[in-house]
Structure 1
């Protein structure tokens, strides 16, 4: 009996030891399928499962550096399943960025929203949601998230003058907002674009100026600032600012188009034509000059440009023919004198 007792005790000890060994093995790491879209996960990697959040993130970073987006998504999502994870909001932001790059906007939105569950003041995710909604034409939602990103940035910078609502920021309010090189300049620029659309050019300029204070190298903000000055009639200032952008990027099409429009506004149509010809064919450039002259109420000046565009390429440039007919019609209408009504 004593021998049997010793054997049983030994068996129990061995069993306990085996259980102890088994419990020290890393738990299988799963990932959230609802945030994944790509190749079948079984085909992505043959490596052993990651043993920690940081190992999974490091694997994701490596895959991302080689543009293996599906594997990067898989590894980042696996990092979220560890019970001791601490980088969820940053990881989910990166997951959202990958989905955005792949054109999967619903999953990008879902990822950013999930990131906000871990950190409601995640400036980057808030800004990305603003950009995502704005690009889809959901401007009210986009504006709200741009404001929220700016507000979250004020929290980061310990500014008590945070925005109390999501109405339009005034110039005085904007002056009170703190910023540094990490502030969400694309949110300020996005609000500038939305203000331009609403024809609020003065506040749009302030947004672009703040964006440039945060990121002085932003060509897009410089181009947009020049455009706001053009739209408000400050043509010479718009010209200087737009040329500043072209010094940094001489082939920037938006800057070139804006500069051509500025020259048309200044009455220098020949120079406008030369600017357009820097990035389009001669018939297209001639048609563009004519079109923008017509928009400015100068249909008579536009007609020769449409005729030259047609002469340059009569078979291809159908649009120039249509614009010519419109210009001729406007000229004819302008010569019709209003009928005076007899007093009765």
Structure 2
């Protein structure tokens, strides 16, 4: 989950969990509706039209065919057989877990969510699924439910660094940076060498204005994983805030195009009040861009306004 400066003038790398409420349909009906819609996708229809029934005798046979189809790259057919396996054995948690994994790989997060909910309806004490569910809900921007789910995990197991990390992210998104720091401290005590956690903790400190501490954590993350794009970008932000513009440009350039890297360096230089440096980098952004670059253009307009206002003063 990427978490960086959110200004539209920067080329930010964009970021960085509750059971269904009772209503007109049950969880099983909700899943059935979603999965049958998915089963009827265009690619699946061509398979189904060749053999409308795709007969299977039981859940095990359907599951075997689903796995084989997936291994062969027949994605829609695999999903069809997974639905059949589920229909034979809707109480089989292993089938639901496997379906959730498949849907996650296909980035069908709404279906992952439903699978997790069905598992938790059957086994509320499954902490692994509850944690995955909570973290998924952060991705879906269902933060209140995500927080509730992750709090339940740490209430039962205070050794779960992923849940503390997720709670820290939720607090940061809500602007509660001091609270976020406490969660990240707890996660850090359990997992001090995880690059994703180091980046998240560092960004939380960055948001609190603790730039030196943030820089140290970004450097540690990069020492462990040198190509970690989120940490490279955030490290560049810190360097730019400290007016180390060549260093910032070098780090930005590892994750952005040359025009974008120069634009972001120039933008922060402008915010620092270093107008000459800002003008240099923003002009470079324009020069290096092969087409009209709106962000750099807007930033140069803002810079020229600042310079004119200074002359009037």
Residue 334 and residue 195 in structure 1: after superposition, are their counterparts in 2 closer, same or farther (change >3 A)?
farther
Quick one: distance in 2 between partners of 1:246 and 1:335?
43
Q: Is the 8 A contact 1:89 1:122 kept in 2?
A: no
Residues of 2 paired with 1:284 and 1:34: CA distance? 41
Question: Which residue number in structure 2 is paired with residue 147 of structure 1?
Answer: 148
Give the match for residue 109 of structure 1: 113
| 2:64 pairs with 1:88 | no
The structural deviation recorded for 1:258 is: 1.0
What is the deviation of 1:327? 0.8
Structure 1: gaps (5+ residues): 1-30, 158-177, 338-344
Q: Which has the higher contact order (CA 8 A, sep 6+)?
A: 2
Q: What is the TM-score when the length of structure 2 is the normalising length?
A: 0.71
Report the counterpart of residue 164 of structure 1 in structure 2.
none
**CA radius of gyration, larger in:** 1
The match for 2:200 is 224
Does the CA contact (< 8 Å) of 2:100 and 2:116 recur in 1? yes
- 2:172–2:180: 8 Å Cα contact kept in structure 1? yes
Q: Which residue of 1 aligns with 2:127?
A: 123
Three-state SS of the structure 1 residue aligned to 2:309 is helix
- Within the candidate set 203, 206, 209, 2:182 is matched to 206
CA contact (8 A) 1:290 1:303 kept: yes
**1:242 Cα deviation from its structure 2 partner:** 0.9
Q: Please state how far the C-alpha of 1:218 moved relative to its aligned partner.
A: 3.5
Aligned pair in 2 of structure 1 residues 248, 50: CA closer, same or farther (>3 Å)?
farther
| Aligned mates of 1:54, 1:153 — CA distance in 2 | 35
Q: Distance in 2 between matches of 1:121 and 1:115?
A: 10
Alpha-carbon shift at residue 89 of structure 1 (Å): 3.1
Task: Tell me the residue number matched to 1:35.
Answer: 35
Conserved? CA contact 1:309–1:320, under 8 Å: yes
- TM-score scaled to structure 1, two decimals? 0.66
In structure 2, relative to structure 1, the CA distance for the partners of 1:264 and 1:34 (3 Å cut) is: closer
- Secondary structure of 1:242 counterpart: helix
Give RMSD over aligned pairs.
3.5
Cα separation, 1, equivalents of 2:220 and 2:239? 16
**Number of the residue aligned with 2:56:** 49
CA drift of 1:257 comes to 1.2
Q: Is the 8 A contact 2:62 2:81 kept in 1?
A: yes
Q: Report the CA distance between 1:252 and its aligned residue.
A: 2.0
CA 1:206–1:58: 2 relative to 1, 3 Å: farther
Change (3 A) 1:44 1:325: farther
How many equivalent residue pairs? 276
Residue pair 1:93, 1:124 contacting (<8 A) in 2 also: no
Q: 1:253 aligns with which of 203, 222, 229?
A: 229
1:44 offset after TM fit, Å?
Answer: 8.2
Shift of 1:77: 3.6
Residue 307 of structure 1 aligns to a residue whose secondary structure is: helix
What do the CA deviations read for 1:5-55 (whole angstroms, capped 9, x no partner)?
Answer: xxxxxxxxxxxxxxxxxxxxxxxxxx957534232474689997355x556
Supply the distance in 2 between the matched residues of 1:149 and 1:336 (Cα, whole angstroms): 55
Distance 1:189 1:143, change over 3 A: farther
